[in-house]
């Protein structure tokens, strides 16, 4: 693999608490291009702009337009990274991936399981995407890591759908399985402790350090065909700290894609 595709989805209509993630993609790009950083991932790959086929940012009128946009890019058969947006975007993105790849293995890093059958009357809320994904059998395996907000309802949902959850309180790197692939990584920034990534809508203490999530990403050996970075809320960021975390994650994910 020598190229990665990038798309930005300017969408936060399905956020239950605060708006803001729709403004994130241009700020992640700005941090990625900033003279404050170079383009090297830690494995030594240079993720320079010529490695990225950047389709730019999309404003979304209808929720399921996200599926159409994603599907139109998958025809290039190179890995696709999506900059969100709230976490509701992952369901239509996975629908597009399913049409190309069939059921994917999914590694989902988040403070929240996002398995609600419906949230505040909306089955497509950002609290629900993984219920829809499992219901539609878009995943052959779903492993969730970093979860620290499990409700009884979401525990039942996880059991019903056979979701494997590594809760934050039980976490160690060796518990994260190796996947066969093709693998999709869905990364909600609130998996990180708010001290490391304050620019998020739901500050849930007791999360990952930046180092810990880099270790999870660098430990992926399976072919990684898609990823999203969601829930960065620039309105809550402090000195661009979270934007810089996103740019770092973008480089590290791209490096895994190029070398898997
Ligand atoms: Mn989420
Ligand atoms: Mn979350």
pLDDT > 80? residue 3: yes
Check residue 34 and give its pLDDT: 97
Q: How far is the CA of 31 from the centre of ligand 1 (A)?
A: 22
Report how far apart, in Å, the C-alpha atoms of 86 and of each of 67, 192, 245 are. Answer: 15, 16, 17
The number of folded domains in the chain is 1
Check residue 15 and give its pLDDT: 87
pLDDT tens-digit map of 56-111: 999 999 999 999 999 999 988 899 999 999 999 999 999 999 999 999 999 999 99
Q: How far is the CA of 230 from the centre of ligand 2 (A)?
A: 9
Per the structure, the complete domain to which residue 84 belongs is given by 4-259
Check residue 29 and give its pLDDT: 98
Q: How far is the CA of 71 from the centre of ligand 1 (A)?
A: 22
Cβ atoms of residues 25 and 83 within 8 Å: yes
Class of residue 211 by CB neighbours under 10 A (exposed 0-12, middle 13-18, buried 19+): exposed
Q: How far is the CA of 112 from the centre of ligand 2 (A)?
A: 4
Q: How far is the CA of 90 from the centre of ligand 2 (A)?
A: 12
Q: How far is the CA of 91 from the centre of ligand 2 (A)?
A: 15
Check residue 252 and give its pLDDT: 98
CA quadruple 214, 163, 121, 62: dihedral sign: positive
pLDDT > 80? residue 115: yes
Check residue 16 and give its pLDDT: 84
- Ligand closest to 112 (CA) is 2
Check residue 131 and give its pLDDT: 98
Q: How far is the CA of 50 from the centre of ligand 1 (A)?
A: 30
- Ligand closest to 115 (CA) is 1
Query: Residue 1's pLDDT band (boundaries 50, 70, 90)?
Result: confident
Check residue 27 and give its pLDDT: 98
pLDDT tens-digit map of 118-160: 999 999 999 999 999 999 999 999 999 999 999 999 999 999 9
pLDDT tens-digit map of 152-198: 999 999 999 999 999 999 999 999 999 999 999 999 999 999 999 99
pLDDT > 80? residue 257: yes
pTM for this predicted structure: 0.98
Q: What does the mean pLDDT of the chain come to?
A: 97
Q: How far is the CA of 207 from the centre of ligand 2 (A)?
A: 11
Domain containing 33 — which CATH number? Answer: 3.40.800.10
């Amino acid at each position: 693999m020598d190229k990665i595709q990038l798309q930005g989805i300017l969408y936060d209509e399905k956020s239950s608490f605060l708006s803001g993630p729709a403004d994130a993609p241009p700020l992640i790009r700005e941090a990625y291009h900033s003279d404050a950083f170079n383009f090297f991932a830690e494995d030594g790959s240079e993720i320079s702009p010529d490695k990225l086929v950047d389709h730019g940012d999309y404003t979304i009128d209808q929720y399921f337009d996200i599926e159409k946009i994603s599907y139109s890019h998958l025809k290039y058969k190179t890995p696709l990274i999506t900059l969100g947006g709230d976490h509701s975007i992952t369901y239509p993105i996975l629908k597009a991936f399913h049409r190309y790849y069939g059921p994917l293995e999914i590694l989902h890093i988040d403070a929240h399981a996002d398995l609600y059958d419906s949230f505040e009357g909306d089955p497509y809320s950002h609290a629900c995407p993984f219920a829809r994904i499992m219901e539609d059998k878009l995943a052959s395996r779903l492993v969730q890591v970093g979860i620290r907000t499990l409700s009884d309802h979401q525990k039942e949902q996880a059991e019903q759908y056979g979701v494997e959850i590594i809760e934050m309180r039980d976490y160690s790197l060796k518990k994260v399985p190796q996947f066969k692939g093709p693998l999709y990584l869905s990364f909600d920034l609130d998996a990180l402790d708010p001290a490391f990534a304050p620019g998020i809508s739901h500050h849930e203490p007791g999360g990952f350090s930046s180092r810990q999530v880099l270790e999870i990403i660098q430990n992926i050996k399976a072919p990684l065909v898609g990823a999203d970075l969601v829930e960065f809320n620039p309105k809550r960021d402090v000195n661009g700290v979270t934007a810089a975390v996103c740019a770092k994650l973008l480089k590290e994910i791209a490096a895994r894609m190029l070398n898997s």
